[in-house]
Amino acid sequence: MRNERERERKKERLINETELLKEKEKRDRIISELQIEIKEKEQRWKDALDEAEHNIVVLVQKADEDKERMRNAIEQRVNGEKQALTTMGQERIEQMQKEKSFLEEQMEYMKHEHDINIENEKRKNENEKNEQIQNIENLWKDKLQKVEDIWKEKESELQQEISQLRIRESHLQQVIREGEQRASELVDLNS
């Protein structure tokens, strides 16, 4: 009887130990699976982090390249505008100088004709001389005054054009500064 109980107990203990061993194996398997899953997730996170870091580097490089391209484009445009404005201003100044020379020649010619006319009038009629000379002088003075007025008007136009060219140049400088500032902001945003 005693032996039978002992055997029952041993059997029970053996069953319990077997159950415990099964539980332990099951738990170990679950732990092992979880560890594998954790390692896989860690690897995925690491890969994602590496890819993100690579993308950031690429974005920063692209932003730097975009900034450089933008700066070069702005610089080329401004230089082109400057050159065009300078050429246009120079051509206008040369044209005004030609006009001035032409007007000066006209004035000289008119003065010469005025002198000739006075001499002719003196020879023609001594009695009407004073009145006619005065009329001719007044006429030529008016003509000379008109020429001077035209010249002053042309000179004023030239001054206005020069002022406008300076304003445009100042505006272009502002565009450069704003472009560089915008490019810098883009780089900061991408950083």
CA–CA distance, 66 with 48 (Å, rounded to integer)? 26
The mean pLDDT of 140-155, rounded to a whole number, is 85
Predicted pLDDT at 93: 76
Tokens matching residue 156: 């004023």
CA–CA distance, 75 with 180 (Å, rounded to integer)? 10
Helices (H) and strands (E) in the chain, counts: 2, 0
The mean pLDDT of 16-23, rounded to a whole number, is 83
CA distances from 112 to 103, 116, 136, 147 (A): 14, 6, 13, 15
Q: How confident is the model at residue 106 (pLDDT cuts 50, 70, 90)?
A: confident
Predicted pLDDT at 191: 59
CA–CA distance, 62 with 56 (Å, rounded to integer)? 10
Predicted pLDDT at 1: 62
Cβ contacts of residue 187 below 8 Å, gap of 6+?
A: 60, 63, 64, 67
Residue 126, φ and ψ in degrees, nearest 5 = -70, -35
Q: How confident is the model at residue 152 (pLDDT cuts 50, 70, 90)?
A: confident
pTM greater than 0.85: no
CB distance 161 to 90 below 8 Å: no
Residue 86 pLDDT > 80:
no
CA–CA distance, 99 with 155 (Å, rounded to integer)? 10
Residue 91 pLDDT > 70:
yes
Q: Average pLDDT over the chain, rounded to whole?
A: 82
